[in-house]
Chains A and B, each alone.
Chain A
Amino acid sequence: DTEVTQTPKHLVMGMTNKKSLKCEQHMGHRAMYWYKQKAKKPPELMFVYSYEKLSINESVPSRFSPECPNSSLLNLHLHALQPEDSALYLCASSGDIGISYEQYFGPGTRLTVT
């Protein structure tokens, strides 16, 4: 089953709110990713977790805080976001990062910051 699930599907939040995005995979993958995608643009990498440890942070503002509680779960905690942070947030997973593995993407969370 090559499925990555994400909740919620849609999220509207104010600039002072705190919310979290959740991602789950049950493929036994050891690498998980957060991407941000604006309309009609390619996904932009935000974070990479490998074996539950953060391995890449693409200079993402601290108002985005990732967390990997276990190998199947990935969270993205949001606080004090700006309207320009409105986008589709994609989670992906892959078997590993050290060798050739493809990434499987979830459906995304459509975030609107008001």
Chain B
Amino acid sequence: AQSVSQHNHHVILSEAASLELGCNYSYGGTVNLFWYVQYPGQHLQLLLKYFSGDPLVKGIKGFEAEFIKSKFSFNLRKPSVQWSDTAEYFCAVGQGASNTGKLIFGQGTTLQVKP
């Protein structure tokens, strides 16, 4: 069965530190890849997405992610975090070529940024 693994469950950083959150998936076919963010008390928002093309994708708020097909990974990065980045981050994978609409989410990473 398809699965998504986020290795970091709880990350604590100081402002201006660099961020990298890991995401690996198990599906061997064409995939659509997403990072969603859930700020405290707010709804899930799309940070960035990968469908095809350049494996380095840029999203909102200075986030970027790199798709490495050989490693089945889609890690999220930000060079310098801010206190306002404190949130829950979810990696999600959908099947690409035969997309049923079903998204598989990772368990999430809680990011706490200290001012």
Contact = CB atoms under 8 A, between A and B. Distances in A.
Interface string A79-107: 00000000000100010011111111111
B51 A100 contact: yes
Given A102-B49, A107-B42, A108-B43, A40 B108 contact: yes
B90 interface: yes
B101 A42 contact: no
A50 interface: yes
Contacts of A56: 100-102
Interface in B32-73: 32, 34, 36, 42-46, 49, 51-52
Contacts of A108: 43
Nearest to B6: A42
Given A97-B99, A99-B99, A100-B51, A42 B46 contact: no
Nearest to A4: B43
Interface of B: 32, 34, 36, 42-46, 49, 51-52, 88, 90, 94, 96, 99-103, 105-108, 110
26 contacts: A40-B88, A40-B108, A41-B108, A42-B90, A42-B105, A42-B106, A42-B108, A43-B105, A45-B102, A55-B101, A56-B100, A56-B101, A94-B101, A97-B100, A97-B101, A98-B99, A100-B94, A100-B99, A103-B46, A103-B101, A103-B103, A104-B46, A105-B36, A105-B43, A105-B45, A108-B43
